[in-house]
Chain A
């Protein structure tokens, strides 16, 4: 089984400031890791994913995340945020081995990022 903990439920930040959204996970099997963004009244859009290889992953809209296996973390970062980045962000994992749960996503509780002018 997998679980995901997003350590901050809300993160306020000023425009053009850097931001880090924290994510820790627990799993008895190897996993793929994802960050999704959800704008109000919309579905989820993939920001980035870690499947294998380099632990620093770059995504859309200037976001990046670093996979740290020893700390079981996958924190999301952006060096300079915009007003338009205001949204809810979800960290998720899925097993990367075979079986019926292959590909099933387990999400964290979400972090609401609010960018102030």
Chain B
């Protein structure tokens, strides 16, 4: 059984460039979450999918951020016109359909914007 995977693990980009991250959840997990973790802080919720539907977006998610989950399987998180403040670890988690179940986290994608 494979866990949650994320790609790439590290990304260095220049300010103003666009970046895209991918998350592959545990198969048959219909709930998928994106979190952002900055240095010295706990993860902060960004957005959440149930199957292919994006059900909630945080106010942290500016209009430069977009997330998709086509066909309810993998998900992508795109940041357009990156800024230095976007530098963070981006974590993906998945869980089955009931709230009592654990969220399983991927290893994260560490983004550095120069």
Contact = CB atoms under 8 A, between A and B. Distances in A.
Interface of A: 4, 6, 32, 34, 36, 41-46, 49, 51, 90, 92, 94-96, 100-110
A90 B42 CA distance: 7
9 contacts: A42-B107, A43-B105, A46-B103, A90-B42, A95-B99, A103-B48, A104-B33, A107-B44, A110-B42
Interface residues of B, number: 26
Given A51-B100, A103-B31, A104-B33, A90 B43 contact: yes
B105 A94 contact: no
Contact of B103 (A51, A105, A106): A105
A109 B33 contact: no
B65 interface: no
A27 B54 CA distance: 24
Nearest to A52: B100
B102 interface: yes
Nearest to B95: A103
B105 A45 contact: yes
A108 B106 CA distance: 19
A103 B97 CA distance: 9
